[in-house]
Amino acid sequence: MKILIIGGAGYIGGVTTHYALAQGHEVTVADNLATGKAHNVPPTATYIHTDIRDRDDIAALFVGKDYDAIMHFAAKILVPESMEKPYEYFETNTVGALNIIDAATKHGVKAYILSSTAAVYGAATHVPLQEDDPCLPVNPYGASKLLTEQILRSYQITHDLKWTALRYFNVAGAYNGVGTDYPFVSHIIPMLLEKTKNGEPIIINGQDYDTPDGTAIRDYLHVLDLAKAHMLAAEKMLSGTELNQPINLGSQQGYSVKQVADTFNEVTGANLPITYGKRRAGDPPKLIASNERAKQLLGWQPEHDLRTIIKDHYDWFMAKN
């Protein structure tokens, strides 16, 4: 396949770029390096500096190119920041995506895969979450992604665009030298790595949830499992399967925050002390994804357990530091 990876210098996009190349595909990476890193782009990929908010930049991506599939990862992803700067989130995540989607339809791209998020569901009232559950995002980040999904559906209707939106939850792990090389820390496992580096205790927010150990339960996936799901989706669509719907990617079991902290200490030998603070406002007790649709439509299920996720991420972090 000839694949255009938008945001391919970032974390998940970078891993997907490496995995796609390892599978023998031809990859072009478009990224403005706002948070992505040039060293995440292998020399065997074609790199084009691109700002998806600039329609001239996007037009240049298609000059002399004929892509089979587009995988769109580029986005702003920090929920608290989205509450402070909603314009920037809609400008990048929605308008930027619209620019790419419109260009894709004009150039006959056969498969468009959006990196979406569990944030489209909003405050979950039950688990596991299914794709047909109500989507009522509670922050601009989730809203910007849901709007992009709706744009894809509209272009399916008006231009017969083939698409899917892969909604995933907490992503961790590393692959082939690519990890969470962001200028910020936004998820628990990278946060635990920073705690190890700084010799600080683990602080768990909330010990009184209605869960077996009182701490919140979340769904965790290895970044390589996500990359494989993107490739499977592209292969299915290019072989004639019409997806044209969102698909959850999750473990369908979840782990509590304390389980993650305990497993982290066991796997890494860090033995960080665990303390407890108050709940964070708006945190639901459980967020777990149903992955039945992914199994049925893609033949996908996660292959890496929590210990492997943590070990791979830790090994990458220690090599980097």
Q: Which residues are catalytic?
A: 141
Angstrom distances, CA of residue 211 to CA of 161, 217, 220, 276: 42, 7, 17, 15
Closest CA to 149 of 228, 106, 87, 94: 94
Beta-sheet pairing, 255-256 with 170-172: unpaired
Contact between 131 and 246 under an 8 Å Cβ cutoff? The reply is yes
Q: 62-97 burial by CB neighbour count: b if 16+ within 10 A, else e? A: beeeebbbbbbbbbbbbbebbeeeeeebbebbbbbb
- CA 303 from centre of chain: 17
DSSP 3-state of 121: helix
Alpha helices in the chain (DSSP H): 11-22, 55-61, 79-84, 86-89, 97-106, 140-159, 188-198, 223-238, 257-268, 292-298, 306-320
Radius of gyration of the CA atoms of the chain, in A:
19
Residue-wise burial string across 165-176, b where 16 or more C-beta atoms lie within 10 A, e elsewhere? bbbbbbbbbbbb
Among residues 250, 262, 275, 11, the alpha carbon closest in space to that of 133 is found at 250
